[in-house]
Structure 1
Amino acid sequence: MKVKVLFFLLVSINLFSQDNWNILLIPKELKEKANSVVRYQNIDVEIVSQKNYKLKTKKVITVLNEYGLRNIDAREFFSNSEKINTIEAIIYDAFGKEIKKIKRKDFIDQSVADGYSILSDNRVLYLDYTPTQYPFTIVYESEKQSINTAFLPSWYVIDDYFESIQKSEFTIKFPEDIGFKYKEHNFSQYDILKQEKANSLHYSIENLSALKPEDYSPAFENIVPNVIFGLEKFSLEGVVGVGNTWEEFGKVYYDELINSNTEISPETIQTITTLTQGIKDPIEKAKIIYKYVQSKTRYVSIQLGIGGWKPMLAKDVDRLGYGDCKALSNYTRVLLDNVGVTSYYTVIYGDTNRKDLDKDFVSYQGNHVILTIPSEKKNYFLECTSQTNPFAFGGDFTDNRFALMIKPEGGFIVKTNEFTPLDSYQKTIGKYSIDKDGNLKASAQIKSGGIQYDRRAYLSRVNNEKELHKTYKNRWNWISNLNIQNIDIKENRETIELVENFSFSAENYCNKAGNSVYFTLNVFNKNENIPDKYRNRKNDFEIVRGYYDSDEIEITLPNDFEIEFLPEQIDLTTEFGTYSMSIEKKANNLLYYKRDLTIYSGDFPKDSYEAYRKFREQIAKNDNLKLVLIKK
Structure 2
Amino acid sequence: MKFRLLLIALYCCSSVRCQIVDYAVASIPAELLEHANAVVRFDKTETRIESSESVVRKRFRAVTVLNEYGLSGMQAYEGYRVKSICATLYDANGREIKKFKRKDFHEESATSGASLITDGRVTYLNYVPASYPFTIVYQSETEDANSAFINPWYPRNQNYISVERSEYIIDCTPNLGFKYKEYNYDGNGISREDRKDGLTYIVKSLPALKKEAYAPSVSRYLPYTMFGIGKFNLEGVAGDATSWENFGAWAYNTLLVGTDELPEATVAKLKSLVGTESDPLKKARIVYQYMQNKTRYVSIQLGIGGWKPMKAKDVDRLGYGDCKALTNYMRSMLAVVGVPSYYSIIYGDRDREDLREDFVSMQGNHIILAIPQGDSYVWLECTSQETPFGFLGDFTDDRLSLIVKADGGKLARTESYNNNIQKITGNYRLDSAGGINGQLEIRSLGLEFDKRSSLSSKSDDDLRTHYKEFFSLNNLKLDKVVVQADKNNVEFAETLTLSAERYADTKNDRLFFPVNAFNKIVSIPQRYRSRISPFEISHQETYHDEIIIEIPEGYKVEARPDGAKLEDKFGNYASEISQIDTNHVLFKRTLDLKKGYYAKEEYENFRKFLEQVARYENAKIVLQKS
The equivalent residue for 2:63 is 61
What TM-score, normalized by structure 2, do the two folds share? 0.93
Residues 1:537 and 2:531 are matched in the alignment: yes
The equivalent residue for 1:589 is 583
The equivalent residue for 1:475 is 470
- TM-aligned CA deviation for residue 316 of structure 1: 2.6
The one-letter code matched in structure 2 to 1:244 is T
- TM-aligned CA deviation for residue 278 of structure 1: 2.0
Contact 2:421 2:542 in 1 (8 A): yes
> After superposition, where does 1:361-440 map in structure 2 within 5 Å?
361-376=359-374, 378-420=376-418, 423-440=419-436
**In 2, Cα distance between equivalents of 1:472 and 1:319:** 41
**In 2, Cα distance between equivalents of 1:113 and 1:297:** 20
The equivalent residue for 2:512 is 518
**In 1, Cα distance between equivalents of 2:284 and 2:441:** 32
The equivalent residue for 2:278 is 280
The equivalent residue for 1:112 is 111
SS in 2 for 1:456: helix
**In 2, Cα distance between equivalents of 1:347 and 1:21:** 44
Question: Which region of structure 1 is more displaced relative to structure 2, 93-102 or 487-496?
Answer: 93-102
- TM-aligned CA deviation for residue 157 of structure 1: 0.6
- TM-aligned CA deviation for residue 600 of structure 1: 0.5
**In 2, Cα distance between equivalents of 1:470 and 1:102:** 50
**In 2, Cα distance between equivalents of 1:625 and 1:418:** 35
Question: Which region of structure 1 is more displaced relative to structure 2, 444-453 or 41-50?
Answer: 41-50
Q: Where does the alignment leave 5 or more consecutive residues of structure 2 unmatched?
A: 1-17
The equivalent residue for 1:4 is none
- TM-aligned CA deviation for residue 214 of structure 1: 2.0
> After superposition, where does 1:187-336 map in structure 2 within 5 Å?
187-301=185-299, 308-336=306-334
The one-letter code matched in structure 1 to 2:471 is W
SS in 2 for 1:137: strand
**In 1, Cα distance between equivalents of 2:251 and 2:202:** 34
Q: Given the superposition, is the C-alpha separation of residues 306 and 237 from structure 1 closer, same or farther in structure 2, using an over 3 Å criterion?
A: closer
Contact 1:557 1:590 in 2 (8 A): yes
Q: Number of residue pairs matched?
A: 608
Contact 1:87 1:104 in 2 (8 A): no
Question: Which region of structure 1 is more displaced relative to structure 2, 264-273 or 546-555?
Answer: 264-273
**In 2, Cα distance between equivalents of 1:444 and 1:451:** 21
SS in 2 for 1:455: helix
**In 1, Cα distance between equivalents of 2:197 and 2:481:** 67
**In 1, Cα distance between equivalents of 2:572 and 2:442:** 21
Matching residue within 450, 459, 466 for 2:461? 466
Residues 1:607 and 2:601 are matched in the alignment: yes
Matching residue within 411, 428, 442 for 1:446? 442
The equivalent residue for 1:143 is 141
Over the matched positions of the two proteins, sequence identity in percent amounts to 41
Kindly report the root-mean-square deviation, in angstroms, between the aligned alpha carbons of the 2 structures.
2.1
- TM-aligned CA deviation for residue 304 of structure 1: 11
What TM-score, normalized by structure 1, do the two folds share? 0.92
**In 2, Cα distance between equivalents of 1:280 and 1:614:** 54
Contact 1:92 1:100 in 2 (8 A): no
Question: Which region of structure 1 is more displaced relative to structure 2, 512-521 or 528-537?
Answer: 528-537
The one-letter code matched in structure 1 to 2:77 is R
**In 1, Cα distance between equivalents of 2:139 and 2:402:** 35
| 1:219-243 Cα shifts (integer Å, max 9, x gaps) | 2122221001122222233222333
Contact 2:109 2:119 in 1 (8 A): no
Question: Which region of structure 1 is more displaced relative to structure 2, 318-327 or 349-358?
Answer: 318-327
The equivalent residue for 2:33 is 31
Contact 1:527 1:619 in 2 (8 A): no
- TM-aligned CA deviation for residue 305 of structure 1: 10
SS in 1 for 2:560: coil
Question: Which region of structure 1 is more displaced relative to structure 2, 140-149 or 396-405?
Answer: 140-149
**In 2, Cα distance between equivalents of 1:72 and 1:450:** 40
- TM-aligned CA deviation for residue 370 of structure 1: 0.9
Residues 1:22 and 2:24 are matched in the alignment: yes
- TM-aligned CA deviation for residue 42 of structure 1: 1.5
- TM-aligned CA deviation for residue 257 of structure 1: 1.4
- TM-aligned CA deviation for residue 104 of structure 1: 5.5
The equivalent residue for 1:352 is 350
Contact 2:433 2:506 in 1 (8 A): no
The equivalent residue for 1:42 is 44
The equivalent residue for 1:528 is 522
- TM-aligned CA deviation for residue 62 of structure 1: 1.1
Q: Given the superposition, is the C-alpha separation of residues 272 and 91 from structure 1 closer, same or farther in structure 2, using an over 3 Å criterion?
A: farther
| 1:563-583 Cα shifts (integer Å, max 9, x gaps) | 112321101000111000001
- TM-aligned CA deviation for residue 113 of structure 1: 5.5
Matching residue within 476, 488, 493 for 1:494? 488
SS in 1 for 2:493: strand
Q: Given the superposition, is the C-alpha separation of residues 572 and 481 from structure 1 closer, same or farther in structure 2, using an over 3 Å criterion?
A: same
| 1:297-340 Cα shifts (integer Å, max 9, x gaps) | 22124689996222233333222222221122122211221221
> After superposition, where does 1:162-201 map in structure 2 within 5 Å?
162-201=160-199
**In 2, Cα distance between equivalents of 1:481 and 1:203:** 59
Contact 2:235 2:304 in 1 (8 A): no
The equivalent residue for 1:76 is 78
Q: Given the superposition, is the C-alpha separation of residues 377 and 199 from structure 1 closer, same or farther in structure 2, using an over 3 Å criterion?
A: closer
The equivalent residue for 2:100 is 101
Contact 1:246 1:362 in 2 (8 A): yes
**In 2, Cα distance between equivalents of 1:436 and 1:70:** 55
- TM-aligned CA deviation for residue 102 of structure 1: 5.4
Contact 2:118 2:301 in 1 (8 A): no
Contact 1:93 1:99 in 2 (8 A): no
Contact 1:51 1:240 in 2 (8 A): no
